[in-house]
Structure 1
Amino acid sequence: MSPPRPRHLHLNAFLMNAGHHDAAWRHPRTRPERVTDLRYFQHLALTAERGLLDSVFLADGLALGDRVRYNALGGFEPLTLLSALAAVTEHVGLIATVSTTFNAPFHTARKFASLDHLSGGRAGWNIVTSGSVEEAGNFGLDEHLEHRLRYDRAREFVDVATKLWDSWEDDAILLDRERGVYADTGKVRAIDHRGEHFAVRGPLNVPRAPQGYPLLVQAGSSEDGKEFAARYAEAVFTAQQTLADAQAFHKDLTSRLPRYGRTEDELLVLPGIAPVIGSTEAEARALEQELTDLQVPEYGLAQLSGMLGTDLTGLPLDGPLPELPDERDINGNKSRFTLVAELARRDGLTLRELIARLGAGRGHRVLAGTPEQIADELEEWFTEGAADGFNIMPPHLPGGLEDFVDHVVPILQRRGLFRTEYTGRTLREHYGLARPANRLAAP
């Protein structure tokens, strides 16, 4: 019997315009004028592939808001961009955010099946329910759907999408030129779904994709979010500030899997980390301070107000947080509200200090140090049951990703913690996840 393969961590590059720090666009190491330049994103994707990363990921919001005055926000629709990146890369996975609140299952299933075919099996879907009234206003609504209702809709949405991906069997296409038969229509089926939120006949008008389904990713950490993840998600992007919190989240999430007939090896937990890298710790700290010094307080207050569901405009920056609502009264991102509120209370932060602390990661853990120090932190969380890998959020781009690929990845490889070559072709193979069976196929 051959020995088991060594367990390797998984690394996803979260790409965000000029970088994740809210002042990155003001720093001379960034190129904010290129955030609508395809070649810029091609360079980032090829950098991630050079580092043998599992995937790149694009977030997405469906509203712009006033904060664009102070930050390089907005940009490409993610599936459009990832289709262009598929043409210049061969291995790295391509994950896009699409909301279940402001889209339809048929369109979404079709787009992801198309991306999976175009990329040879590298598509992933970050499933979100959206979190702001500004987004609702762009789709004819005065208020955002209530939190639990959004998740009810999301569950049915994913059920419909997976049925549509299963509406073609793998061998449905016959290509029988002699008989004039392209497809076996006995293996292409309507799904005839009628539910509370959707009525979809089907079948999908795209044949079954190389991966069957795109990799299903989820990022909510509220109770509804964790239950949704336990049922559907194969990778979870999460924000945790401490090792103990990350261990508790990992244990809680995986403990929910058995009631959905799932096991721990079917779900990967990837906390976000924002690495500020320098050749010395002092150099890294100096870069972190440079970015902090470039922050615009008005932007930070607006972002913080959104996270906490409380208007902080006009409050003294060197004063404490005001009294906050209970999490149950938050209709946006409940888990991020709790994380930020607890961070401020635990460390006794003023508004100014909290804005600085959130600048690079919006609640994700920020690591400032040498490549060795960054690698040490990743190894500890990986080996101590807090993470199966990480969602890498470079504070500035492109240099932050280049620094990680060129200096941190080789250390992880020398320690036997990360791959030294791609051994699979599809995104599911990178993550060590099985291709889903077709649930609608005839026995």
Structure 2
Amino acid sequence: MSHSKPRTLKLGAILAGVGTDFSSWRLPDLPSNASIDIDWYIRNARLAEEAKFDLVFIVDSPFITPDTAPHFLNRLEPLTLLSALAVSTSKIGLVGTLTTTYWEPYNVARLFGSLDHISRGRAGWNVVTTGLEGAARNYGHDKHLDHAVRYRRAKEFVEVVKGLWDSYEADAFPYDKEKGIFLDKSKQHALNHQGAFLSVAGPLALSRSKQGYPVIFQAGDSNDGRQLGAEIADATFAGVEDFDGARDYYQDLKRRARAAGRDPDLITVLPGIAPIIADTDEEAQAIARERTGDITIEQKLVALGRAFNYHDFRQYPLDAPFPDVSGLTLNSYKGHAERILRGVKANALTLREAAERYGTWRLSFVGSAETVADEIERWFRDGAADGFNVRVSAPHDFALFRERVIPILQQRGLFKTDYEQDTLRGHLGLPVPENRWSAKEPEAVRASNDAGTGFSTVPASGDLQVAAS
């Protein structure tokens, strides 16, 4: 793809209240109820918008334990929250997480379609399949779907949701009061989808938005997760630990997208970072050490176990070799768990060493504003990222990032000084998707409507057996 403008950084702000780690909630300048305080979210979304961030991001998962990190224990539901942010901001994108495993496509299409209208084209959906097996019991199921099945279902799910978003062509509503014509019925289309996992008739009772339909995000790091992202995502939240891992992910995802017949330049890759900034590198590193020291080894073991469906690693000797967990299912956060196991094997880690390495957020972006800006530029220019998703839970860090780092990036021509678009697609340089019905010849549309077939996928017998079990 040829670009008329130089490539520039994209920035997201992760609004996670009191934090998805175990130490942020203790910061004196962070309200203890930030995760359920709408004023906190509105204030920080507006601060991100003032700094010209492209989007805010709301994380979510549908299962907790008593040992879960503070933010997840008591937090607002993403779509409700984002609707409030939509009327409290005007330009910044609004991205929320919602699982394909425990929802239905019609609900998802309606929720995100409504958010897209409320925000005038700023909505984004982070597609997940749910990593934690315990979620099944919260939705009336005895067992979590197998990892590979979840991803096959997710791909079909997203295609169905897009099909529902295409229910009306752009000129379906003449609103002709004189002639009494509200709807041109020939421009309304039922989906009539029959697939391996889903059966959805449609049409959706909602027209397309200003940006066509919401931007699709994805965050899976397993082989199945990367493949899904390469095939369906407009942007991905990369779960990486260092520059080399980020560059490997970036190149792999873009290669997969190209192999799938997509333009890899139209997928924005955003690793998550938690910058710690001070006047000098030494001061910032001291702050990082202090915060990491506030997290107990027990909490680090809990964080480590989350990737293994909250397996309790506290039962093993700390300074013995990492325990044999080959009997554990990897049907949760498979990509993350596999990455931990590779690192443990390659470095012959003890349990304590594994907890220290994988039980806390890896802080790669620590230093003076200049140092952090240099690192951001290195990742961006050297093929490891298209931008970054910045954690917001530490108010002082977020302020320093906005006030010191962003001006440096702007001076270097790496980040915009003002919004040039007012939709999330516009911010990310994405085209408005063409309505599938408008793209068809009129005769083909009439034949499809008369036959009542809409769009469908041919079910695979193996998938049907799994879906029915």
| Shorter-chain TM-score tier | over 0.9
Amino acid at match of 1:267: I
Matched, 1:158 2:158: yes
CA RMSD across the alignment:
2.1
Post-superposition shift, 1:290?
2.4
Residue range with higher mean Cα deviation, 333-342 or 369-378: 333-342
- Structure 2 residue aligned with 1:176: 176
- Structure 2 residue aligned with 1:78: 78
Q: What is the rounded CA distance, in whole Å, between the counterparts of 2:419 and 2:71 in structure 1?
A: 36
Post-superposition shift, 1:111?
0.6
Matched, 1:315 2:295: no
> Does the CA contact (< 8 Å) of 1:20 and 1:393 recur in 2?
no
- Structure 1 residue aligned with 2:325: 324
- Structure 2 residue aligned with 1:306: 306
Q: What is the rounded CA distance, in whole Å, between the counterparts of 2:262 and 2:240 in structure 1?
A: 24
User: CA-to-partner distance for each residue in 1:292-334, whole Å, 9 max, x for gaps?
Assistant: 222143332222122145531222334442223299x511112
Matched, 1:372 2:370: yes
What are the equivalent positions in structure 2 for 1:358-369 lying under 5 Å apart? 358=358, 360-361=360-361, 366-369=364-367
Post-superposition shift, 1:186?
0.9
Matched, 1:386 2:384: yes
Residue range with higher mean Cα deviation, 85-94 or 263-272: 263-272
Amino acid at match of 1:278: A
> Does the CA contact (< 8 Å) of 2:21 and 2:70 recur in 1?
no
Among candidates 394, 406, 409, match of residue 412 of structure 1: 409
Residue range with higher mean Cα deviation, 112-121 or 72-81: 72-81
Post-superposition shift, 1:177?
0.4
What are the equivalent positions in structure 2 for 1:1-400 lying under 5 Å apart? 4-68=4-68, 73-308=73-308, 310-325=311-326, 329-346=329-346, 349-358=349-358, 360-361=360-361, 366-394=364-392, 396-400=393-397
Amino acid at match of 1:412: L
Post-superposition shift, 1:195?
1.4
> Is the partner of 2:18 in helix, strand or coil?
coil
Label 1:27 to 1:349 Cα distance change in 2 as closer, same or farther (>3 A). Answer: farther
> Is the partner of 2:245 in helix, strand or coil?
helix
Residue range with higher mean Cα deviation, 293-302 or 164-173: 293-302
Post-superposition shift, 1:358?
4.1
Amino acid at match of 2:172: A
Post-superposition shift, 1:349?
4.9
> Does the CA contact (< 8 Å) of 2:242 and 2:364 recur in 1?
no
> Is the partner of 2:142 in helix, strand or coil?
coil
Label 1:365 to 1:434 Cα distance change in 2 as closer, same or farther (>3 A). Answer: farther
> Is the partner of 1:217 in helix, strand or coil?
strand
Amino acid at match of 2:214: P
Amino acid at match of 2:53: L
* Aligned structure 1 segments of 4 or more residues deviating by more than 6 angstroms: 69-72
Residue range with higher mean Cα deviation, 38-47 or 366-375: 366-375
> Does the CA contact (< 8 Å) of 1:32 and 1:72 recur in 2?
no
> Is the partner of 1:177 in helix, strand or coil?
coil
> Does the CA contact (< 8 Å) of 2:21 and 2:69 recur in 1?
no
Structure 1: any 5+ residue segments left out of the alignment? none
> Is the partner of 1:270 in helix, strand or coil?
strand
> Is the partner of 1:126 in helix, strand or coil?
strand
Q: What is the rounded CA distance, in whole Å, between the counterparts of 1:366 and 1:357 in structure 2?
A: 13
Label 1:371 to 1:355 Cα distance change in 2 as closer, same or farther (>3 A). Answer: farther
Q: What is the rounded CA distance, in whole Å, between the counterparts of 1:415 and 1:346 in structure 2?
A: 39
Alignment size in residue pairs: 438
> Does the CA contact (< 8 Å) of 1:276 and 1:367 recur in 2?
yes
- Structure 2 residue aligned with 1:401: 398
User: CA-to-partner distance for each residue in 1:239-283, whole Å, 9 max, x for gaps?
Assistant: 222322222221211112234321122211111222122222222
Q: TM-score, normalised by structure 1?
A: 0.93
> Is the partner of 1:117 in helix, strand or coil?
helix
Label 1:20 to 1:68 Cα distance change in 2 as closer, same or farther (>3 A). Answer: closer
Q: What is the rounded CA distance, in whole Å, between the counterparts of 2:338 and 2:201 in structure 1?
A: 41
Residue range with higher mean Cα deviation, 347-356 or 262-271: 347-356
User: CA-to-partner distance for each residue in 1:107-149, whole Å, 9 max, x for gaps?
Assistant: 0000111001101100000000001121111011222110011
> Is the partner of 1:183 in helix, strand or coil?
coil
- Structure 1 residue aligned with 2:422: 425
